[in-house]
A and B are shown apart, each in its own frame.
Chain A
Amino acid sequence: GNSVTQMEGPVTLSEEAFLTINCTYTATGYPSLFWYVQYPGEGLQLLLKATKADDKGSNKGFEATYRKETTSFHLEKGSVQVSDSAVYFCALSEDRDDKIIFGKGTRLHILP
């Protein structure tokens, strides 16, 4: 079945550091890929998405590239801020299915 695996946290970085959160997936078809972010005590917000191979999603300085050859969708940001502290979820959805499969989430702490 389809699945998403992302690096376990927590990840702790200093402000202005470079961020990578790894995400790999298993899918039988051609899924859409997402990164969602959850701030403390809130629901999830879509951060970025990519719908086909080699697409790059970007938002708020975050980027992720859909790599079909390595089945990966790693999240990156060049210079993190304290306000980026949150839990990040990688997710996939196949076009024929209305369900989204989420990874377990990676908690990110940014120190001032």
Chain B
Amino acid sequence: DGGITQSPKYLFRKEGQNVTLSCEQNLNHDAMYWYRQDPGQGLRLIYYSQIVNDFQKGDIAEGYSVSREKKESFPLTVTSAQKNPTAFYLCASSSFGGDLLRNEQFFGPGTRLTVL
């Protein structure tokens, strides 16, 4: 089955540690995205990538970093510079395959990060 996988589902981190969240898709999608979800604030875009080896900052990129070495993978690193990292993180992907499909994003199941 095609889809997006995120791992782990739950992640605990001590203050001052960097942590990397995994996102993999087998949908052959060109674009991938990372969002942060906090209660009552909806989704906020962290980073996105439209092609391999290229990515752009979203609205809240500070304290985060990404890489896009393969089309299928878009890992997110939450660094110690992120002041309030506890949140639910969602990865998504989309295709450029024609008007009907353009811009529709498919989401992974999410990773809940808790800083202890």
Contact = CB atoms under 8 A, between A and B. Distances in A.
Interface residues of B, number: 26
A104 to B, nearest CB: 4
Nearest to B45: A99
A51 interface: yes
Contacts, number: 52
B75 interface: no
A97 B99 CA distance: 13
Interface of B: 4, 6, 31, 33, 40-43, 45, 48, 50, 58, 90, 92, 94, 99-100, 102-110
Given A36-B107, A44-B43, 15 more contacts: A32-B102, A32-B103, A42-B109, A43-B4, A43-B6, A43-B108, A46-B104, A49-B104, A95-B102, A98-B50, A99-B45, A99-B58, A102-B43, A103-B42, A105-B42
5 contacts: A44-B107, A95-B102, A98-B94, A98-B103, A99-B33
